[in-house]
Every structure is written in C-alpha cells, then in structure tokens.
Amino acid sequence: MRVAHPTRPKAVVKGGEPLLELDDVRVSYGGIKALKGISLKVFPGEIVAMIGANGAGKTTTLKSIMGLLPLAGGTIKLAGRSVAGESAVDLVAAGISLAPEGRAIFPNLTVRENLELGAYLHRHAPTMKETIEDVTKLFPRLGERMAQEGGTLSGGEQQMLAIGRALMARPQLLLLDEPSLGIAPKLVQQIFAAIKEIAASGVTILVVEQNTRIALATARRAYVLRTGEIALSGDAKDLAENPEIQAAYLGG
C-alpha cells in the first residue's frame, strides 16, 4: 500500500514523538459530557485499539479527531501540530482518513465510483489507478466487483469498500470505527488480516472495536474507555490477560 500523497508533503514526526496526540479532550452534547478528558497517543506504524461498551465515547473520540465534532476543551495534535478546530476536508488533506461506523458507502454508485470518491482531494489519475490496484490486491473481492453497485455487496464486502475508500486518500493515519460490526466471522478474520497488512505498509491505525478479543489480538496497545473516560491502557497482550478485562469483555 503506497501512502505518499501526490500533492502534499508528509507530516514529519521527530524521533520518539507520537503521530497523533490527544490531551484532555472534552466533548459535550448539549448538557451531556460525552468525553470527560481523553488523553492518548498513537505512534507511527502502530495499531492502537479503543475498546469499551456502547456509549463509552469511542466513536465520539474518532469523530472529534476527524473534525466532525467541536471540542469543549483539550488539544489534538498531528505530528506535533495542533489540528483541533480544523475541518474534515483539511484533516484529510493533512493525512487522516476515516472508515466510519456503518460503512456509509454510496449504495447506488459502483465499487469503482465509491473508491474514486475517496481520492476527491487530488483527483490525480495515475495515483488513483495505482491506489485502486493496491486496494484490490488487499481486497481481491472488490476487484471482482468493480462495476457492481455498492448496495448489492454483502456487509463484509461493504466494509472492505469503506476501508478501501479511506485508503484512496493515501493517509498516514487511518481511523477505523467498528470494522467487524454486522459481518460474518470468516470475513472479520480477513478484514483484520488486511488491517495488519495496511499497518505493515507504514499506515498508522487507530481502531474502535467491540470485538475485544480480535482487537487486542491485532493491536500493539489499547485504551479502555468507560463513560467518556479512559479506565485502563497499556500493552494489548497485557490487557487481554487482565482479569477485569477478561470478566467484562472476554467472557472470562
């Protein structure tokens, strides 16, 4: 997966510094505090997972990073530069892409058209062709269905399409919101194998996932969210062996 954008310089991360850093991020819906001071770091090349129950604030965190929700307080930095308050368009240009919860593909457009929309900021034909080739190597099913309308794909294939569309912008940081939601177990395994391959190519990944077992098996580190706050964090393998996590999320 080639990640260099054809029209923008890559954000430079100094040695040992995070690519993404949230510090005391707070978000409110009306009078309800959805995030109560989230702080986390994601370093270049990592897969980092956010896990937790419904309503814990996981999707809100991703939307905040993507500029889709205003902050009530705190800071968000990309490669050391504050990006809080920037629009989603500017953040895509800066190197962040989101594959949203529920996939949100365009059902009446073909697979190819959905993918091409992911490259809307540059529309550079040779780059688009190369990236589509990369995406179809990653997800061969999409290559077999390029002329098929997105709405006729299975749930797993639509998730592949949503991830592929996000990759069309050639991001440095890929945000994934519930990639296993509503998908058959066999395809879940394929999608998470692809996520590892994407990370191996140099794309940094922050993934929200309710399937705690596969999230902790895939990620290097993880954060556990509970009612808008980080309850636990650490090495994913250590968290998988934590009795509290096993009891709450792994059926232990």
The dihedrals phi and psi of 168, each to the nearest 5 degrees, come to: -65, -25
Instruction: Name beta bridge partners: 221.
Output: 48, 235
Dihedral (CA of 90, 93, 96, 101) sign: positive
Q: Tell me the average pLDDT across 26-52.
A: 94
The answer, yes or no, to whether residue 4 has pLDDT greater than 50, is no
Q: Tell me the average pLDDT across 194-220.
A: 95
pTM of this structure: 0.91
Domains of the chain: 32-106+170-249 (3.40.50.300)
Distance CA 63, CA 28 (A): 13
Bridging pattern class, strands 204-208 and 81-82: unpaired
Distance CA 231, CA 66 (A): 23
pLDDT of residue 5: 45
The answer, yes or no, to whether residue 9 has pLDDT greater than 90, is no
Residue whose tokens read 């980080």: 230
pLDDT one-digit tens code per residue, 143-167:
999 999 999 999 999 999 999 999 9
Band (251; pLDDT cuts 50, 70, 90): low
Residue whose tokens read 């395994």: 189
